[in-house]
Amino acid sequence: MIINTGGRTDTVQYYTDWLLRRFAEGYVLVRNPRFPEKVTRYELDPSVVDCVVFCSKNYAPILPRLHEITDRFSTYFFYTITAYGHDMEPGVPDIDASIETLIELERIVGRERIAWRYDPVLLSERYTTEVHWHTFDHMARRLAPHVSRCVFSFVEPYRKLDRNMPELLPLMEEERVYMAELLGGVAREHGLRLQACATREDFSAYGVERAGCVTLEALGAANGVTFRKLAHRGMREGCACMEMRDIGAYSSCPNGCRYCYANADARGAARTFREQHDPASPLMLGNLRPGDVVTRATQRSYLAAGVRAARQAVAPGQGRLEL
């Protein structure tokens, strides 16, 4: 199976100590977002966790100790760096600082295990197509030698965006095509592989690939392992990614990004982080409560049989589940 650390919150930036403790202790508990009394236990063991996928807007806090995970697990890293300033992303480092951190990450894990996420793409009176064009060009020039690819997506029209971003301009079909053409041209100029995420539109005429962000082929190539060929449904509509299990919690990210889908509101998320996070707890937020029902997840490796056997042989005595 594949573990995702950053789909619900920026775990790396704000929960580094907790994350490293969970991998050191070998398990994590995750509360069901819809049914909070239901808790799932995942074993964080190389025999059943084929890859740990990270997604963050600031890897600086974990870099000194990242080896505690990369020494034991296959890994892949999505680094989100956008064109927006602190008016949109109050808790995120500026562009140049983020680029420097990504370059440091590349020195540690290598170019093939890093993808740059430039998303979501949105338009306002401040963030125009021209601003995207020039900013993406500046970033692509610096990042192309250090990443395997760039992934972009267009902002999803979530209902709460009407409240959080009243200045947001609608992205009509012609604007989406124009943006894909602009980004595709810049990527081609800098030798950067560009890919669109979760879209039904075909932008291949502009050099934009259509593929899942997290595929077994991509994870295998980045880590030098071979996966079995498996059918899968994707993570959401229009998505071609392999299913993953996220160990985070919604409404817990203090970054305060105004377009965020994972926070109910920014102030509440920051308060939740301050008041409910216990680095020693197996849960990201709070602790087990009376009435909680803990179920051990069914975890099976996706690796090809020979690769799986070799991995088990070098990791004995770590509480492996039977496959």
Residue 162 lies in a domain: yes
pLDDT per residue as tens digits for the range 91-139: 999 999 999 999 999 999 999 999 999 999 999 999 999 999 999 999 9
Q: What pLDDT score was predicted for residue 240?
A: 66
Q: Cα torsion for 127, 168, 208, 12, to the nearest 10°?
A: 80
Band of pLDDT at residue 237, cut at 50, 70 and 90: low
Residue 153 lies in a domain: yes
Residue 214 lies in a domain: yes
Q: What pLDDT score was predicted for residue 318?
A: 37
Residue 320 lies in a domain: no
With CA atoms as reference, report the closest residue to 4 among 257, 320, 248: 248
Band of pLDDT at residue 160, cut at 50, 70 and 90: confident
Give pTM, 2 decimals. 0.92
- The top-scoring range by mean pLDDT among 159-173, 191-205, 287-301 is 287-301
Q: What pLDDT score was predicted for residue 317?
A: 35
With CA atoms as reference, report the closest residue to 75 among 21, 4, 12: 4
3 state DSSP class of 15 = coil
Residue 149 lies in a domain: yes
3 state DSSP class of 159 = coil
Residue 211 lies in a domain: yes
Q: What pLDDT score was predicted for residue 322?
A: 28
Q: Is the pLDDT of residue 274 over 70?
A: yes
Q: What pLDDT score was predicted for residue 309?
A: 55
Residue 178 lies in a domain: yes
What CA–CA distance (Å, rounded) separates 201 from 86?
A: 31
Residue 145 lies in a domain: yes
How many domains, the chain? 1
Range of the domain at 305: 2-313
